Structure 1
Amino acid sequence: MELAEIALLAAAAVHLGFQVTVTAVAYPALARVPPDQWGPAHRAHTRAITPVVVVVYGSLVVTGGWVLWSGPRVGAWVALAATAVALLATALAAAPAHGRLAGGRDPLVWRRLLRADLVRTLAAAVAVAALMTVR
């Protein structure tokens, strides 16, 4: 495995850990917030998680670019595609859902967010698994 691929594997593993934590801890905690406390709780969640998102997704972009520049092999291509799916799910579904949820809890938007989160978590797992096949 090339150094760029090792760096992407490390970033992808951190991403997977982050996504599993959001899925298993952060979103269930938000779901238990009473409706009258939703606004402050959602704002607190957003303030706390935004720096982590920037670091995790930034590392994926940087290491993914390095792998692209280095000439990825098949497993790395699959990981890059899976990572792109996670980034797109965030940009096109999760981030807009959080924007709408900032104005109040909406069950339809919440379900949309959870679906996007599932896509991101599965994509992160695929990325790690694909990189583990690179020799």
Structure 2
Amino acid sequence: MTAAEALLAAGALHLGFQLVVTGVVYPALAEVPDADWTRAHDAHSRRITMIVAPFYLLLAAACLWVLVSGPYDALTLTSVAGAAIAALTTALVAAPTHGRLERDGRNEVLMRRLRFADGVRLGGAVLCAACAFAA
């Protein structure tokens, strides 16, 4: 397997994961009644962390492999940028927002921020996978 193939595989896996989060996980979480919010959000956070970490580690490893192995073209660099957008949005927006949701409880401002961050992550995942495929 080449570095470019690893990036394509990791990007495609990440896109599939992100589509499930955007299309299934977050809508289900948003429908949880207020009385069950703390329990449901705590369970979500425990479960998703065990899945998110390996996906992002795999994606980071593939991006690093591509960057170290070179040479690469603009599509490959754009693919890596898409992965970086998704990862940074998770680390800098989604994870802290989940922390506030856990600490402060659900409110519409935090839920909008979470949905916005999720849209940015989905865009980054699409960019990563599409550009890796095109490259």
Alignment partner of 1:22: what SS?
helix
2:120 alignment partner in structure 1: 119
Letter in 2 for 1:111: R
Alignment partner of 1:105: what SS?
coil
Q: Provide runs of 4+ in structure 1 moved above 3 Å.
A: none
2 CA distance for matches of 1:11 and 1:131?
Answer: 10
Alignment partner of 1:119: what SS?
helix
Unaligned 5+ residue runs, structure 2?
A: none
Deviation at 1:5, TM superposition (A): 0.8
Alpha carbon RMSD of aligned pairs, Å?
1.0
Cα deviation digits, residues 37-85 of structure 1 (max 9, x gap): 0000001101111011011000011111000011122211000111111
1:10 alignment partner in structure 2: 9
Alignment partner of 2:134: what SS?
coil
1 CA distance for matches of 2:89 and 2:28?
Answer: 21
1 CA distance for matches of 2:101 and 2:13?
Answer: 26
**Is 1:67 aligned with 2:54?**
no
Letter in 2 for 1:44: A
Letter in 2 for 1:106: N
1 CA distance for matches of 2:23 and 2:84?
Answer: 22
Unaligned 5+ residue runs, structure 1?
A: none
Q: Please, what TM-score do these two structures have when normalized by structure 1?
A: 0.95
2 CA distance for matches of 1:43 and 1:117?
Answer: 18
1 CA distance for matches of 2:130 and 2:3?
Answer: 16
